[in-house]
Amino acid sequence: MTDLGMLAILKDAIGRAGLDQVELYCRHSRRGISRFSRTELNQNAAIDEAVIHARVAMAGGRIGASTTSVSTPDGILGAIRDAAQAARCAPPLADFPGFAPASPDEPVPRWARSTAEASPSDRAEILRAALARVREEGLDAAGTLETTQNDVAVVTTAGARKFARATAAGARLFVSGPDSSGFAGAFHRDLAALDVGELTDRAIERCRRGASPVALEPGAYDVVLEPEAVTELLEWLAYSSLGAREVEDGSSALAGRISTRITGDWVTLADDATDSSELGMGLPFDAEGTNRARVPLIEGGVAAGVVYDRVHAARAGRPSTGHALPGAVDDGPLPSNLFLAAGDRTMDDLVGMVERGIYVSRFHYVNGLVDTRRAVMTGMTRDGTFLIENGRLGRGVANLRFTDSLLEALERVEGATRERRAVPSWYSDGGAHVAPAILVRAFRFTGERAP
């Protein structure tokens, strides 16, 4: 669907509804997914779907919401009418400022032809050599190669007219042996930029190195965390603490601490959907049709701010930063494109700085809500956990459970890599978080899993 076509359909539905305050958000996704397991490509799926979120405001700030996957004019009109019915029954929403007005477009490069036009045969050909390489090693492989094009539009009765098109390509590869596994992944808007061969070699090497893992006693260990592990923790911090609603209700680790030091002074964290580098993946506007702004969250270890949608911005007397979620009434805003500042080290440098510690490829089953005021989190290591001794990467370690405060851990960081990687966000279509690998001293492990 073209931008004008999508906008015209939404505008027409609003006109037919005859209501004073309406907002429509539409996402049309074309996804191609190639899945493999037991080192065989076993599924090529194509998904073409549209989701429309309608919100209607009535007198007194009563907001109703409805969602439909029927993208016909009548289907969209039905969603508007359902939202209107819900609004009539809803309690007033304090400080509702109305839906977004018109604003200038601020386009950013987010589309790649190789991704948008990738066929099942294209993805299968990319995977063919990777799977053959794993078979040669006598190991098993599982995972996915996915390509997506998202067309997103927002139209409001207040004048907003927004459209953006973005692509995303992601590969996730798990290689397993009798008692070990290795993971490697990559995410980019351009399928041609994914080096699946390098990912395959990395996952195989981790699986081989992790064979016959040793058990370590729980305790405090120096750790090198890969970007996938770092972004997992940062995303939980974003979910629990970096939105205005959590500051407002006092559950955020930043509540009452803006402009005070909360981490080590090396930490600079921002949400930046406007980043124009090859790592940038964010859309230029949010689900309300507000242009996204770069938002400093932590600057030099000092809490700098949080993200806002229109309601929470009005309550705080601030402008929206463009971080509303689709279909929400009062769920609050969330960051979806975190950027953690890079350091000046290589991965070998970080490993070389550890006398005895642990290398973590990624975390699994993390719970970031243990104590949100202190940003205490717990979870397991997985798919590539190794012992570091005398500055050298060693044998595999049986998976361990960690429980630690992320803010306190960020006080103990002593190095970060120059290279950063983009890791897909779990709750944002096409969004990604960007981070380097980091060295954390005395990271707390509280349990073990027998090898």
Distance between CA atoms of residues 391 and 398, nearest Å:
20
- The amino acid present at 386, given as its one-letter code, is F
According to CATH, where is 3.30.2290.10 located in the chain?
3-206
Q: Note the helical H segments in 35-95.
A: 73-89
pTM of the model: 0.96
- Mean pLDDT for the chain overall: 96
Distance between CA atoms of residues 71 and 49, nearest Å:
9
Segment 312-315 long-range contacts (CB within 8 Å, at least 24 positions apart): 312/243, 312/244, 312/245, 312/248, 313/97, 313/244, 314/95, 314/96, 314/97, 315/94, 315/95, 315/244, 315/248
Tens of pLDDT, residues 243-252: 999 999 999 9
Give the per-residue pLDDT at 303: 99
Q: Is-contact 431 287, C-beta < 8 A?
A: no
- Phi and psi for 290 in degrees, rounded to 5? -95, 135
Tens of pLDDT, residues 150-179: 999 999 999 999 999 999 999 999 999 999
Q: Is residue 426 very low, low, confident or very high in pLDDT (cuts 50, 70, 90)?
A: confident
Q: What percent of the chain has pLDDT over 90?
A: 94
Strands in 104-189 per DSSP E: 140-156, 161-176, 181-188
Nearest to 67 by CA among 86, 48, 90: 86
Q: Is residue 2 very low, low, confident or very high in pLDDT (cuts 50, 70, 90)?
A: low
Domain 3-206, CATH among 3.30.300.30, 3.30.2290.10, 3.40.50.1220, 3.40.50.300:
3.30.2290.10
* CA dihedral over 432, 436, 441, 442, signed as positive or negative: positive
Q: What is the DSSP string of 195-222?
A: -HHHHHHHHHHHHHHTSSPBP--SEEEE
CA 168 from centroid of its chain's CA atoms: 12
Q: Is residue 106 very low, low, confident or very high in pLDDT (cuts 50, 70, 90)?
A: confident
